[in-house]
Amino acid sequence: MRLIRFGDTCHERPGVLGPDDQRIDVSAFAKDWNEEFFDSDGLARLDAWLTKNVERCPIVGDEVRLGPCVARPSKIICIGLNYVGHVRETGAEMPKEPVIFFKSTTSLCGPNDDLIIPPGSKKTDWEVELAVVIGSRARYVAEESAMECVAGYALHNDYSERHWQLERSGQWVKGKSFDSFAPVGPFLATKQEIPDPHSLGLWLSVNGERRQESSTSDMIFKIPTLVSYLSQFMTLLPGDIVSTGTPFGVGLGLDPPLYLSPGDVVELGIDGLGVSRQRAVAFESLGARAS
């Protein structure tokens, strides 16, 4: 199954994509794709419900906004420096175990929402990533059983403001947490849709120019390792997002570095997980909408 959320910001409703990519409103079945849904065997219940009811569900127009494909989770956990080429381009040391950091959950937004460049920012950068959505509570899980805790996967752009991430007392979270810095979707593909998440092509373009192109096969630490590792430090809750790191080709790694400006258009995709598109706008241009 492929799960979407549609409607205005903070008022999204749950849907699924049909075989021909038509958007199907399933708000008659569930309130939202949230912790409660995943924690109550929601994916299996949804599958059974659709078999009987899909013909009666309304179709949603293509003009309707897509929200992030899961409701605001308890945590967005990111893995840093998880592709060899990206480690080299940043000049960092090769990690001996996973590097982890958080994004604020308020950075979450729809896949095609505008990227808001923060006030005064000159170093807003892109990072295409495979995001893992947790399906069941994970605490001290072994690698061998870690995939049982995964609901599925989604496309994520881990936007990063490099000045605040790297030049201001070493707290990455400051450069990762601005509003609109975590577009997730267009859809959550359940595990069954993606038989091997470690062999997916992923790419990103800026203004039509390809900047990132790689494969999830190049991840240093694979998904079972990451889920197991994280669960040693914190309980992963259903609906939580774990973003698995970005490959080579970020703006920071170019010579000279290249960062985003208002008017730039970023497009990205992962095999089987769709594409998303964000237009960069200046915070200052939003006026009353910014509050």
Interface of this chain with Mg ion, residues 44 to 83, rule: CB under 5 A: none
In angstroms, give the least distance from the CB of 59 to Mg ion.
35
- Name the residue among 116, 82, 79, 83 with its Cα closest to residue 100: 79
How close are the terminal C-alpha atoms of the chain, in Å?
A: 36
Nearer to Mg ion, 12 or 158 (CB): 158
How many residues lie near Mg ion (CB under 5 A)? Answer: 3
Contact 83, 214 (CB under 8 A): yes
Tell me the residue type at 209.
Answer: E
Q: How far is the CB of 63 from Mg ion (least distance, A)?
A: 31
Positions in 116-155 near Mg ion (CB under 5 A): 127
Q: How far is the CB of 211 from Mg ion (least distance, A)?
A: 14
Task: Using DSSP bridges, classify how beta strands 150-157 and 128-134 pair: parallel, antiparallel or unpaired.
Answer: antiparallel
Close Cβ partners of 37 (under 8 Å, ≥ 6 residues apart): 30, 31, 238, 239
- The CA distance from 241 to 74, in Å, is 9
Collect all residues with Cβ–Cβ distance below 8 Å to 74 and sequence separation of at least 6: 35, 105, 237, 239, 240
In whole angstroms, what is the distance from residue 3 CA to residue 43 CA? Answer: 10
Positive or negative torsion for Cα 226, 228, 232, 236: positive
- Using Cβ positions, the residue closest to Mg ion within the complex turns out to be 158
| Ramachandran sector of residue 208 (left: φ over 0; alpha: ψ -120 to 50; beta: rest) | left
- Min separation Cβ 156 and Mg ion, Å: 8
Contact 229, 192 (CB under 8 A): no
Which of 158, 161, 240, 267 binds Mg ion (CB under 5 A)? It is: 158
**Residue 288 Cβ vs Mg ion, minimum distance, rounded to whole Å:** 32
Give the H/E segment covering residue 228.
helix 223-230
- Least Å distance between CB 92 and Mg ion? 12
Min. distance of Cβ 246 from Mg ion in angstroms?
5
Q: Within 233-262, which residues bind Mg ion (CB under 5 A)?
A: 246
Q: Point out which residues bind Mg ion (CB under 5 A).
A: 127, 158, 246
